[in-house]
Protein backbone atom coordinates (compact mmCIF):
# COMPACT_ATOMS: atom_id res chain seq x y z
CA UNK A 1 0.00 0.00 0.00
CA UNK A 2 1.33 3.46 -0.94
CA UNK A 3 2.12 5.16 2.35
CA UNK A 4 4.31 8.13 1.34
CA UNK A 5 2.70 11.32 0.07
CA UNK A 6 4.71 13.17 -2.61
CA UNK A 7 3.99 16.79 -3.48
CA UNK A 8 5.24 19.19 -6.12
CA UNK A 9 4.43 22.89 -5.99
CA UNK A 10 5.70 26.30 -6.97
CA UNK A 11 4.68 29.92 -6.68
CA UNK A 12 6.11 33.02 -8.30
CA UNK A 13 6.06 35.72 -5.64
CA UNK A 14 8.55 38.38 -4.61
CA UNK A 15 10.66 37.10 -1.69
CA UNK A 16 13.21 38.87 0.49
CA UNK A 17 15.49 37.87 3.41
CA UNK A 18 16.08 34.51 1.76
CA UNK A 19 18.65 33.18 4.22
CA UNK A 20 16.29 33.65 7.16
CA UNK A 21 13.46 32.04 5.20
CA UNK A 22 15.74 29.15 4.19
CA UNK A 23 16.52 28.32 7.82
CA UNK A 24 12.87 28.57 8.86
CA UNK A 25 11.83 26.13 6.14
CA UNK A 26 14.66 23.70 6.86
CA UNK A 27 13.71 23.66 10.54
CA UNK A 28 10.06 23.07 9.62
CA UNK A 29 10.97 20.13 7.37
CA UNK A 30 13.27 18.51 9.91
CA UNK A 31 10.73 18.90 12.71
CA UNK A 32 8.27 16.86 10.63
CA UNK A 33 10.82 14.34 9.28
CA UNK A 34 10.09 15.40 5.70
CA UNK A 35 12.57 15.00 2.87
CA UNK A 36 13.00 16.61 -0.52
CA UNK A 37 14.14 19.93 -1.95
CA UNK A 38 12.90 23.50 -1.70
CA UNK A 39 14.35 26.15 -3.99
CA UNK A 40 14.06 29.81 -2.98
CA UNK A 41 14.81 32.86 -5.13
CA UNK A 42 13.79 36.46 -5.28
CA UNK A 43 11.12 35.41 -7.81
CA UNK A 44 9.48 32.67 -5.69
CA UNK A 45 9.53 29.10 -4.38
CA UNK A 46 9.71 25.65 -5.99
CA UNK A 47 9.41 22.47 -3.95
CA UNK A 48 9.39 18.68 -4.19
CA UNK A 49 8.73 16.99 -0.86
CA UNK A 50 7.69 13.60 0.52
CA UNK A 51 6.69 12.17 3.88
CA UNK A 52 3.80 10.75 5.85
CA UNK A 53 0.50 12.36 4.98
CA UNK A 54 -0.32 13.97 8.38
CA UNK A 55 3.10 15.57 8.75
CA UNK A 56 3.29 16.75 5.14
CA UNK A 57 -0.17 18.30 5.30
CA UNK A 58 0.82 19.95 8.59
CA UNK A 59 3.84 21.47 6.82
CA UNK A 60 1.58 22.80 4.04
CA UNK A 61 -0.71 24.35 6.62
CA UNK A 62 2.34 26.00 8.23
CA UNK A 63 3.58 27.23 4.84
CA UNK A 64 0.22 28.71 3.88
CA UNK A 65 0.05 30.73 7.07
CA UNK A 66 2.60 32.96 5.36
CA UNK A 67 0.44 35.18 3.13
CA UNK A 68 3.02 35.01 0.37
CA UNK A 69 2.30 31.29 0.01
CA UNK A 70 -1.37 31.23 0.99
CA UNK A 71 -2.52 30.42 -2.56
CA UNK A 72 0.14 27.84 -3.44
CA UNK A 73 -1.32 24.87 -5.34
CA UNK A 74 0.02 21.36 -4.88
CA UNK A 75 0.16 18.30 -7.15
CA UNK A 76 0.06 15.01 -5.24
CA UNK A 77 1.12 11.42 -5.87
CA UNK A 78 1.89 8.40 -3.70
CA UNK A 79 4.75 5.93 -3.34
CA UNK A 80 5.66 2.91 -1.22
CA UNK A 81 9.03 4.35 -0.25
CA UNK A 82 10.59 7.72 0.52
CA UNK A 83 12.05 8.93 -2.83
CA UNK A 84 14.41 11.51 -1.30
CA UNK A 85 17.51 11.00 0.82
CA UNK A 86 17.40 14.21 2.90
CA UNK A 87 15.86 17.63 3.31
CA UNK A 88 17.46 20.48 1.38
CA UNK A 89 16.55 24.16 1.11
CA UNK A 90 18.63 26.03 -1.47
CA UNK A 91 18.84 29.68 -2.48
CA UNK A 92 19.06 30.24 -6.25
CA UNK A 93 19.08 33.20 -8.64
CA UNK A 94 15.96 31.73 -10.33
CA UNK A 95 13.66 28.91 -9.23
CA UNK A 96 13.69 27.82 -12.86
CA UNK A 97 16.64 29.15 -14.83
CA UNK A 98 15.89 30.89 -18.13
CA UNK A 99 18.50 33.69 -18.17
CA UNK A 100 15.90 36.13 -19.47
CA UNK A 101 15.41 38.80 -16.76
CA UNK A 102 12.58 40.55 -18.60
CA UNK A 103 10.34 37.52 -17.99
CA UNK A 104 8.85 37.95 -14.50
CA UNK A 105 5.89 35.64 -13.80
CA UNK A 106 5.44 37.12 -10.33
CA UNK A 107 4.11 40.29 -11.98
CA UNK A 108 1.58 38.53 -14.24
CA UNK A 109 0.92 35.18 -15.90
CA UNK A 110 0.64 34.14 -19.54
CA UNK A 111 -2.63 32.79 -20.91
CA UNK A 112 -3.27 29.25 -19.77
CA UNK A 113 -5.52 26.34 -20.66
CA UNK A 114 -6.90 23.71 -18.27
CA UNK A 115 -6.21 20.02 -18.86
CA UNK A 116 -9.87 19.25 -19.60
CA UNK A 117 -10.13 22.08 -22.13
CA UNK A 118 -6.90 20.96 -23.75
CA UNK A 119 -8.22 17.40 -24.07
CA UNK A 120 -11.28 18.82 -25.82
CA UNK A 121 -9.08 20.71 -28.30
CA UNK A 122 -6.86 17.68 -28.89
CA UNK A 123 -9.92 15.47 -29.51
CA UNK A 124 -11.00 17.93 -32.20
CA UNK A 125 -7.54 18.87 -33.46
CA UNK A 126 -8.34 22.59 -33.37
CA UNK A 127 -9.00 25.31 -30.82
CA UNK A 128 -12.34 27.12 -30.48
CA UNK A 129 -11.41 29.37 -33.42
CA UNK A 130 -10.67 26.43 -35.71
CA UNK A 131 -6.90 26.92 -35.61
CA UNK A 132 -4.67 23.80 -35.58
CA UNK A 133 -3.31 23.03 -32.11
CA UNK A 134 0.38 22.21 -31.68
CA UNK A 135 1.87 21.02 -28.39
CA UNK A 136 5.28 22.55 -27.55
CA UNK A 137 7.40 20.46 -25.17
CA UNK A 138 9.65 22.81 -23.18
CA UNK A 139 11.52 20.03 -21.36
CA UNK A 140 15.05 18.73 -21.90
CA UNK A 141 15.71 16.00 -24.45
CA UNK A 142 16.24 13.24 -21.89
CA UNK A 143 12.87 14.00 -20.30
CA UNK A 144 11.10 13.83 -23.67
CA UNK A 145 12.47 10.30 -24.13
CA UNK A 146 10.30 9.07 -21.27
CA UNK A 147 7.11 10.30 -22.92
CA UNK A 148 5.29 13.28 -24.36
CA UNK A 149 2.05 14.33 -26.03
CA UNK A 150 1.26 12.79 -29.40
CA UNK A 151 2.85 14.78 -32.25
CA UNK A 152 4.36 17.28 -29.82
CA UNK A 153 7.13 19.55 -31.10
CA UNK A 154 10.35 19.56 -29.09
CA UNK A 155 13.71 21.15 -29.82
CA UNK A 156 16.25 18.65 -28.42
CA UNK A 157 17.36 21.20 -25.84
CA UNK A 158 19.72 20.18 -23.04
CA UNK A 159 18.66 22.88 -20.60
CA UNK A 160 15.69 25.22 -20.30
CA UNK A 161 17.78 28.34 -20.89
CA UNK A 162 18.09 27.16 -24.53
CA UNK A 163 14.32 27.34 -25.07
CA UNK A 164 14.03 31.05 -26.04
CA UNK A 165 16.39 30.73 -29.00
CA UNK A 166 14.87 27.38 -30.02
CA UNK A 167 11.28 28.65 -30.21
CA UNK A 168 12.41 31.84 -31.94
CA UNK A 169 14.14 29.79 -34.65
CA UNK A 170 10.85 27.97 -35.40
CA UNK A 171 8.51 30.92 -34.93
CA UNK A 172 7.74 31.48 -38.63
CA UNK A 173 6.71 27.88 -39.32
CA UNK A 174 4.38 27.88 -36.28
CA UNK A 175 2.80 31.26 -36.95
CA UNK A 176 -0.57 29.93 -38.17
CA UNK A 177 -0.98 27.50 -35.27
CA UNK A 178 -2.24 27.74 -31.70
CA UNK A 179 0.65 26.72 -29.47
CA UNK A 180 0.32 25.00 -26.08
CA UNK A 181 3.56 24.90 -24.11
CA UNK A 182 3.88 22.24 -21.43
CA UNK A 183 6.35 20.79 -18.95
CA UNK A 184 6.30 18.48 -15.93
CA UNK A 185 4.44 20.56 -13.37
CA UNK A 186 3.90 23.90 -15.08
CA UNK A 187 6.77 25.98 -13.73
CA UNK A 188 8.82 26.19 -16.94
CA UNK A 189 5.72 27.19 -18.87
CA UNK A 190 5.13 30.15 -16.59
CA UNK A 191 8.20 31.59 -18.30
CA UNK A 192 7.92 30.01 -21.76
CA UNK A 193 4.32 31.23 -22.07
CA UNK A 194 5.33 34.81 -21.27
CA UNK A 195 8.30 34.62 -23.61
CA UNK A 196 6.20 33.42 -26.56
CA UNK A 197 3.85 36.34 -26.05
CA UNK A 198 6.81 38.70 -25.74
CA UNK A 199 8.17 37.72 -29.18
CA UNK A 200 4.76 38.09 -30.79
CA UNK A 201 3.27 34.57 -30.75
CA UNK A 202 -0.25 35.75 -30.00
CA UNK A 203 -2.07 32.42 -30.11
CA UNK A 204 -0.14 30.68 -27.36
CA UNK A 205 -1.07 29.16 -24.00
CA UNK A 206 0.56 27.25 -21.18
CA UNK A 207 -0.89 23.99 -19.87
CA UNK A 208 -2.12 24.72 -16.36
CA UNK A 209 -0.38 22.43 -13.88
CA UNK A 210 1.71 20.71 -16.52
CA UNK A 211 1.75 17.02 -17.40
CA UNK A 212 1.15 15.91 -13.81
CA UNK A 213 -2.07 17.90 -13.53
CA UNK A 214 -3.13 16.59 -16.95
CA UNK A 215 -2.59 13.02 -15.69
CA UNK A 216 -4.63 13.83 -12.58
CA UNK A 217 -7.56 15.41 -14.43
CA UNK A 218 -7.56 13.60 -17.80
CA UNK A 219 -5.31 10.53 -17.69
CA UNK A 220 -3.47 9.16 -20.71
CA UNK A 221 -5.55 10.57 -23.57
CA UNK A 222 -3.26 11.99 -26.31
CA UNK A 223 -0.14 11.19 -24.25
CA UNK A 224 2.43 8.47 -24.97
CA UNK A 225 4.77 7.03 -22.35
CA UNK A 226 5.41 8.38 -18.87
CA UNK A 227 6.64 11.61 -17.28
CA UNK A 228 10.11 11.97 -15.81
CA UNK A 229 10.18 13.30 -12.24
CA UNK A 230 13.22 14.59 -10.38
CA UNK A 231 13.39 12.02 -7.59
CA UNK A 232 14.16 8.33 -7.13
CA UNK A 233 10.79 7.26 -8.54
CA UNK A 234 12.29 8.24 -11.93
CA UNK A 235 9.01 8.56 -13.86
CA UNK A 236 5.24 8.49 -13.38
CA UNK A 237 2.63 6.84 -15.57
CA UNK A 238 -0.67 8.62 -16.34
CA UNK A 239 -2.07 6.70 -13.35
CA UNK A 240 0.56 8.55 -11.27
CA UNK A 241 2.23 5.21 -10.46
CA UNK A 242 6.03 5.05 -10.79
CA UNK A 243 7.73 3.35 -13.75
CA UNK A 244 11.37 2.98 -14.94
CA UNK A 245 12.72 4.38 -18.21
CA UNK A 246 13.08 1.00 -19.97
CA UNK A 247 9.45 0.14 -19.31
CA UNK A 248 8.39 3.65 -20.32
CA UNK A 249 10.26 3.54 -23.64
CA UNK A 250 8.87 0.11 -24.47
CA UNK A 251 5.33 1.33 -23.83
CA UNK A 252 5.89 4.48 -25.90
CA UNK A 253 7.20 2.45 -28.86
CA UNK A 254 4.53 -0.27 -28.65
Residues noted as catalytic: 183
Beta-sheet pairing, 73-79 with 4-12: antiparallel
Residues in CB range of 198: below 8 A, 6 or more apart: 102, 103
Give 34's DSSP letter.
Answer: -
> Distance (Å, rounded) from C-alpha 192 to C-alpha 140?
13
208: exposed, middle or buried (Cβ count in 10 Å: 0-12, 13-18, 19+): buried
Residue 88 phi/psi, 5-degree rounding, is -130, 140
Question: Are the C-beta atoms of 87 and 173 separated by less than 8 Å?
Answer: no
Beta-sheet pairing, 35-41 with 112-113: unpaired
Query: Residue 212: how many CA atoms within 13 Å on its side-chain side?
Result: 23
Q: Crossing angle for the helix pair 115-124 and 210-217, nearest 10 degrees?
A: 80
The 3-state DSSP class for residue 248 equals helix
The 3-state DSSP class for residue 78 equals strand
Amino acid sequence: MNSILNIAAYQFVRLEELEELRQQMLDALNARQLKGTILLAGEGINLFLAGTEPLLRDFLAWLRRDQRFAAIEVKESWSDNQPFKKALVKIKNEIIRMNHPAIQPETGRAHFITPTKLAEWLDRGTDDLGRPVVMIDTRNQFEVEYGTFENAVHFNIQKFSEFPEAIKAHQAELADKTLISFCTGGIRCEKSGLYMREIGIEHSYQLEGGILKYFEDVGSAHYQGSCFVFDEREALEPTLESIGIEQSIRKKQA
